Amino acid sequence: MKSTTSSFWSESLQNELDKLVLCNNIMLNSPYYSDLPYDHFTKKISSFFEDIKQRSFQISFVGTIKAGKSTLINALLGNHYATVNVTPETAVLTKFASSKDDSFHVKIKFYDSKEWNNIWQEVKSAANSPDQDVRDRIKPFLQEYSSLSADSEKELWLNHKDLIISTKNHSELATIISKYTSSKSAAHYFVKEVYVEIKNCLLPQGIVLCDTPGLDDVLSYRSNITKQYIASSNAIFVCVLSKFLAGEQYNIIQKVFSQIRYNPERVYIIGTQTDLFNNPPQDWKYQKDEWIKYFETASGYGSKNLAAKNIIGISAGVHLFLLDNKTFANDTDEMDDLRVYARKYNCLNRHDIEATCKSLYHATGINSLWNIIQKNLFTIYKQTLENRISEEVYILKSELTQCLKEVTSNYDLQLSALSLSLSDLDRTIKELSDAIQERTQRQIQFEKDFSALENATNQAIQQVDQCFRTII
C-alpha cells in the first residue's frame, strides 16, 4: 500500500503516516504473518488510509433553480464543467474534486431497484394527487420521462455497479457529465450521484464542491438526498438571485438554517448574478443591507456581524466571460460586452483593457470567495483534521506497540521455557552419567571380588584336594 496523500499533510504528520505504511509493509511481508496477530493490524491500517482518503472539505451549493449554482461552480473551477441550464427535473448530486493525475475521472452511482420503486411510488401518487399544484409540478417529470423513452433504459441502468470513466479530453468530459446529469438524457433519471475529478484545476486537494438538485425538488425522496448532504457539509453556499428575494428563495434560506440550526457560520448566502443590477456596487450594497436585516435574527445568523460577513454578492457569469476571452480585439461583440460590464461595475479604463479586466475580475467577487474558501474555511478545517488524524495515528501506534510487546514477551517466555528444559536435561544427563560411572565402578569391584573369591575357592579346593590325597 502506498500513501497517496504525500505533500497534502504537514511534514510531521506525513512522517508518521509514512512510518505506518512502512510498518504495514513489514507485517504484510513477514514469513510469520499467519502465526502472529498481524492480520488484524494490516486490515486496520488499510481501512484507516481508506478513511482518510475519503475525508474532504465538502461545500454544497443549494438554491432555487436557475439561481446560478452550476455557473458559480464553473467559475470557481475556472472552466465549464457543471451542466448549466438544467430544468427542475434534474436531481443528481454532482461533486467536483481535483484529480491526482493528468486525467479527468468520472464515477457514476446508480439507483437500485428498491430506491427507484420508492421514487416511482412518489411520482405515481403525485400524478394522482387531488392537489392541482402537485399534479402540475410532477407533469414535466413525466413528460420528459416519456419523451426521452427513459423507461426503455431502466433495465440498463438500475442496479448498475458504479461506473468509472477516465479521459484526458475536456469536451469528452463535458459529454460524459451531460449524459449522466442533464435532464436532456434518459440515463440521468437512474443516476444517484456523479463524482468528477478534474485535472489541472484550481481546486486544492481535499475540497469537494457539490452541485445539488435543490431542496425544492418535486420528489421528496430526492430533496432528502440534498437535505442529508447539507447536514454533512462543512459549508453551504445558498445561491439566490441578488436582484430579488422572493418567497421561494427566502424559504430555501430558512430551510438551510433550520437544517443546521447550531452552526449558522457554515451558511453563506451568495447573491448571484450581480451584473443584472443597473449599478451593481451600489444596488448590491443596498440589497445586502436589506438581507442583513432579514438574516441577523435568531432564526438566521443570530448576529449582524456574522450576517455581514457571510452574505456575499458575486457574478459568476462575468467571471467566466473574462476567463473565456483572454484577449479583446477592438470592434468585436466581446469588446462591447466587456465595456458594458466594466461600465456597470465602475471599472472601465478606456486606455487600458488589461487594467479594466483586472478590476472587473476583482468586482465579480469570485476571487474574494476563493480567498474565503481557501484562507479561512479550508485552512481551519485542515488544521482540525490534522489534529484528529494525528490522534488516530497515535492510538493506532500505541495499539500496535502494545501488540508487538505482547508478541515479544511471548517469545521471551518460550525462550525461557526452552532454557529451563535444557538445564533439566543437563541435570538428567549428569545424574545418568553419575549412575553409569557408579555402576561401572561397582562392576569393577564386583569383578575384583569375584576373582578374589574364585582364587580363594580354587585355593580351598586345592587344599581340600591335598587333604584328600593326604588322607588317602
Ligand X SMILES: Nc1nc2c(ncn2[C@@H]2O[C@H](COP(=O)(O)OP(=O)(O)O)[C@@H](O)[C@H]2O)c(=O)[nH]1
Nearer to ligand X, 45 or 82 (CB): 82
Using CB under 5 A as the binding rule, whether residue 86 contacts Mg ion is answered as: yes
Using CB under 5 A as the binding rule, whether residue 181 contacts Mg ion is answered as: no
Nearer to ligand X, 243 or 397 (CB): 243
- Residue ranges binding ligand X (CB under 6 A): 63, 65-71, 84-86, 239, 272-273, 275-276, 315-317
List Cα–Cα distances, 265 to 55, 172, 249, in angstroms: 21, 38, 19
Nearest residue relative to Mg ion (C-beta):
70
**Cβ distance 359 to 353 under 8 Å?**
no
**Cβ distance 240 to 284 under 8 Å?**
no
Nearest residue relative to ligand X (C-beta):
317
Phi, psi dihedral angles at 36 (to 5 degrees): -110, 165
- Which residue matches cell numbers 442583513? 292
From the CB of 76, what's the least distance to ligand X, in Å?
12
Nearer to ligand X, 234 or 272 (CB): 272
The 94-133 contact track toward Mg ion, x by CB under 5 A, reads ----------------------------------------
**Cβ distance 238 to 157 under 8 Å?**
no
Q: Within its chain, how far is the Cα of 26 from the centroid? A: 27
From the CB of 84, what's the least distance to ligand X, in Å?
4
Nearer to Mg ion, 24 or 249 (CB): 249
Which does residue 193 bind out of Mg ion, ligand X, none, counting CB within 5 to 8 angstroms by kind? none
- Residue 118: is it exposed, middle or buried by C-beta count within 10 angstroms (0-12/13-18/19+)? middle
Return the biggest CA–CA distance within the chain.
172
Using CB under 5 A as the binding rule, whether residue 389 contacts Mg ion is answered as: no
Nearer to Mg ion, 86 or 311 (CB): 86
List Cα–Cα distances, 239 to 21, 245, 313, 343, 397, in angstroms: 43, 11, 10, 25, 45
β-pairing, 311-313 vs 207-211, is unpaired
From the CB of 330, what's the least distance to Mg ion, in Å?
35
Question: Per DSSP, which regions of 29-103 are E strands?
Answer: 57-63, 93-98
β-pairing, 311-313 vs 267-272, is parallel
Nearer to ligand X, 45 or 363 (CB): 363
Which does residue 63 bind out of ligand X, Mg ion, none, counting CB within 5 to 8 angstroms by kind? ligand X
Using CB under 5 A as the binding rule, whether residue 187 contacts Mg ion is answered as: no
Which does residue 377 bind out of ligand X, Mg ion, none, counting CB within 5 to 8 angstroms by kind? none
What is the C-alpha separation between 442 and 461, in angstroms, rounded?
A: 27
Helix or strand run (H / E) with residue 310: helix 304-310
Amino acid at 44: K
Which does residue 210 bind out of ligand X, Mg ion, none, counting CB within 5 to 8 angstroms by kind? none
The 38-77 contact track toward Mg ion, x by CB under 5 A, reads -------------------------------xx-------
**Cβ distance 210 to 58 under 8 Å?**
yes
With contacts defined by CB under 5 A, name the span among 84-92, 188-196, 213-221, 310-318 that binds Mg ion. 84-92
Q: Which residues bind Mg ion (CB under 5 A)?
A: 69-70, 86
